[in-house]
Chain A
Amino acid sequence: MKTKEKILRPSSLTSSPSIVRDIQAALDATANERGVFGTRFQYHDEAGSTNDLAMRAAERGEPEGTVIVAGAQTAGRGRLGRTWFSPAGAGLYVSTIIRHVTLAPWITLAGGVAVAEGIRAATALPVEIKWPNDVVTVGSAGFRARRKLAGILAEAVSDGQQVQHVVLGYGINLLPAAFPPELTDRATSIESELGRTVDAGLVLAQTLVALNRALTEIEAGGPAALLVRWLALAPSARGARIEWDGPGGVTLTGVTAGLAPDGALLARTATGIDRILSGEIRWV
Chain B
Amino acid sequence: MDFSDIERILDLVRQHDLAEFELEKEGLKLRVRKAGALPAFTASPLHTMPVVVPTAPSAATPAPPPMASAAPLSADEAEESVELAVVKSPIVGTFYRSPEPGAAAFVEVGQRVKKDQVLCIIEAMKLMNEITSEYEGELVSAYVENGKPVQYGERLFAIRTV
Q: Give residues in A with beta carbon < 8 Å to B.
A: 79-82, 104-105, 107-109, 132-133, 152-163, 166, 247-249, 263-264, 277-279
Contact = CB atoms under 8 A, between A and B. Distances in A.
Given A249-B147, A277-B92, A277-B93, A79 B128 contact: yes
Contacts of A163: 90-91, 129
Nearest to A109: B125
Given A156-B127, A247-B148, A279 B132 contact: no
B106 to A, nearest CB: 13
Q: What 7 A-B pairs have minimum CB-CB distances, sorted nearest first?
A: A81-B100, A278-B94, A156-B129, A154-B127, A108-B125, A278-B123, A108-B126
A80 B87 contact: no
Contacts of B124: 105, 277-278
Contacts of B96: 80
Contact of B100 (A80, A161, A247): A80
Given A80-B100, A247-B147, A278-B124, 8 more contacts: A79-B123, A80-B101, A81-B100, A155-B127, A155-B130, A157-B129, A158-B129, A278-B126
B87 A278 contact: no
B86 to A, nearest CB: 9
A160 B131 contact: yes
Nearest to A55: B130
B134 interface: yes
A278 B125 CA distance: 5
A156 B130 contact: yes
B125 A157 contact: no
A248 B147 CA distance: 7
B62 interface: no
A160 B86 CA distance: 9
B94 A279 contact: yes
Nearest to A263: B125
24 contacts: A80-B96, A80-B99, A81-B103, A105-B91, A105-B125, A154-B126, A154-B127, A154-B128, A155-B128, A155-B130, A157-B129, A157-B130, A158-B90, A158-B130, A159-B132, A160-B131, A160-B134, A161-B134, A163-B91, A163-B129, A247-B148, A248-B147, A278-B124, A279-B94
A263 B131 CA distance: 22
Interface in B60-112: 87-88, 90-94, 96, 99-101, 103
B39 interface: no
Interface of B: 87-88, 90-94, 96, 99-101, 103, 116, 122-134, 147-149
A107 B126 CA distance: 9
Nearest to A162: B90
Nearest to B156: A160
A247 B149 contact: yes
A232 to B, nearest CB: 18
Contacts of A157: 129-130, 132
A154 B96 CA distance: 16
A278 B90 contact: no
Nearest to B125: A108
A264 B125 CA distance: 7
A166 B127 contact: yes
B148 A158 contact: no
A58 to B, nearest CB: 12
Given A155-B130, A158-B132, A279 B125 contact: no
A159 B134 contact: yes
A79 B126 contact: yes
A104 B127 contact: yes
Contacts of A154: 126-128
Contacts of B149: 247, 277-278
A278 B134 CA distance: 25
A59 to B, nearest CB: 9
A166 B130 CA distance: 10
A81 B132 contact: no
Contacts of A80: 96, 99-101, 128
A158 B131 contact: yes
Nearest to B100: A81
